[in-house]
Amino acid sequence: MSDRFMNEINMTMMTDFYELTMANGYLETGMADNIACFDMFFRNIPDGGGFAIMAGLEQLIEYLKELHFTDEDINFLRGKGFFSERFLDYLKNFKLECDIWAVPEGTPIFPYEPIVTVKGPVIQAQFLETLILLMINHQSLIATKANRIVRSANGRAVMEFGTRRAHGTSAAAYGARAAYIAGCVGTACAVVDRDMGVPALGTMAHSWVQMYDSEYEAFKKYAEIYPTNCVLLVDTYNVLKSGVPNAIKVFKELNPPKKGIRIDSGDITYLTKQARKMLDEAGLTDCQICISNSLDEYLIREVLREGACIDSFGVGERLITAKSEPVFGGVYKLSALEKDGKMIPKIKISENVAKITNPGYKKLYRFYDKATNKALADVIALASEPVPCAEGYEIFNPNAVWKRKKLTNYRVEELQKQIFSGGKCVYESPSVNEIREYCAKQVDNLWPEILRFENPQEYYVDLSEELWKVKNELLEEHAAE
């Protein structure tokens, strides 16, 4: 599906300026056609969780398909006085030539795994950095947060209500998409329904109630207009003294096929317990209770533990902004350069151990237990290594080389799928509903210990022994310099 929302503007110049200066430099020094390999990965899981959710790939694909420089772009760059005419001519005739692999959207991902890999002329592979990070970082962040909130609701519906709190229009739209992928049932944002197929949902604001001479009249008019979506906001004045009683009166008089109340303030546990009792005593056991107002996974979990009577949640600002940890932190690093037809591993070294990269042109594998279908471990291996499918494969721990875990009765899956070949898209993006269904199944394949919010079990992500040897050799080589 073409992304109407993104295609309203040419995204090519949505890039860090140094991507352009480096590209110009590569051309001027004769390096432009050197084949390079870059990996995108992240170092830390938001909120100290056990896993993140991959999202944003469809928008990245749309960007790459439309990647071109307009006359306006060329004239702007010429006016900066930094760039050679040869480079500007290259941009004018730009054609993507890279091979690109990525982990599909909706897949649980873990630190240091290559979730996007780009291999191609360095002048292009380098330039793609900014938009790859922008697209994948943002949606993966929101999808990860949304999945935590959805899991905290323990099977109850969660609606994304954050449009008005998002950091701009694109953050609202793509955040809603990411939240839906991760398990939300829909969004308050109408354009996301129109352009991306995410169901738009909504009821009324307090202003609707205030417009009428009485709360009862406001409820009755709404029920008459929207009998199949009759969810009444009962906290404009007093939830238990007027809101719920007036809602009950309207429901009994008109008997709309869908009945619900929404509470947007106050003591959630107390109010929902009392409202549920009043509704049930009135014979309205089918009337559902929806809660909104600055919710997150911790508050939802807590009120449910307290026995709050809630059927669904509307979650806004703390979801759409990932308020508790609003940066995903994915990075894009050079991992290999081609020389004489061979990929030569490259490594970035730092005194901060967490910033040392994994070198080489690599592949990513996930091992599943055949009996339970639960994910056992991920292995990052050199692309030149055979697929690790032999019975009794040993998982090698690079942080404790004497520790080995032998796997039996397993199946193995290569996680990255090829997205572009020689600049041509060879991947058909699933529908947003297919991605959402896939995400739910993939999260279900994780052990419960990894799903914990606090102190989750660390999932095994190990290097193959061959990759570990290459990395160790490079570290020793540079230590001797």
Per-residue pLDDT of the chain (481 residues; tens, 9 = 90+): 446 665 567 789 999 999 999 999 999 999 999 999 999 999 999 999 999 999 999 999 999 999 999 999 999 999 999 999 999 999 999 999 999 999 999 999 999 999 999 999 999 999 999 999 999 999 999 999 999 999 999 999 999 999 999 999 999 999 999 999 999 999 999 999 999 999 999 889 999 999 999 999 999 999 999 999 999 999 999 999 999 999 999 999 999 999 999 999 999 999 999 999 999 999 999 999 999 989 999 999 999 999 999 999 999 999 999 999 999 999 999 999 999 999 999 999 998 999 999 999 999 999 999 999 999 999 999 999 988 776 667 777 666 655 677 888 899 999 999 999 999 999 999 999 999 999 999 999 999 999 999 999 999 999 998 999 999 999 999 877 6
Q: E strands along 110-169, which residues?
A: 116-121, 157-160
Task: Give the DSSP letter of residue 266.
Answer: S
Torsional sign, CA 280, 286, 287, 289 = positive
Distances (CA, A) of 80 to 21, 75, 215, 255, 389: 11, 9, 62, 68, 54
Residue 171 to residue 64: CA distance in whole angstroms: 19
What SS3 state is found at 445? coil
**Structure confidence at residue 1 (pLDDT):** 43
Tokens in use for 1? 């599906």
Closest listed residue to residue 361, CA positions, set 481, 467, 202, 237: 467
Strand partners, 342: 339
At CB < 8 A and 24+ separation, what contacts does 167-174 make? Answer: 167/321, 170/5, 170/6, 171/138, 171/320, 172/320, 173/5, 174/56, 174/59, 174/138, 174/139, 174/142
Closest listed residue to residue 63, CA positions, set 105, 100, 12, 106: 12
Torsion angle of the four alpha carbons 173, 174, 179, 180, in this order, in degrees rounded to the nearest 10: 80
Closest listed residue to residue 229, CA positions, set 261, 206, 252: 261
Given its phi and psi angles, is residue 322 left (phi above 0), alpha (psi -120 to 50 degrees) or beta?
A: left
Pairing of strands 186-187, 157-160: parallel
Q: Which residues contact 194 (CB under 8 A, 6 or more apart)?
A: none
Closest listed residue to residue 414, CA positions, set 468, 365, 477, 469: 365
Measured from the Cβ of residue 286, the count of other Cβ atoms closer than 10 Å reads 11
Instruction: Quickly name the fold that domain 6-142+326-479 has.
Output: nicotinate phosphoribosyltransferase (3.20.140)
Residue 109 · residue 459 · CB < 8 Å = no
User: For residue 271, how far is the Cα from the chain centroid?
Assistant: 34
Domain ranges of the chain: 6-142+326-479, 205-290
Instruction: Quickly name the fold that domain 205-290 has.
Output: TIM Barrel (3.20.20)
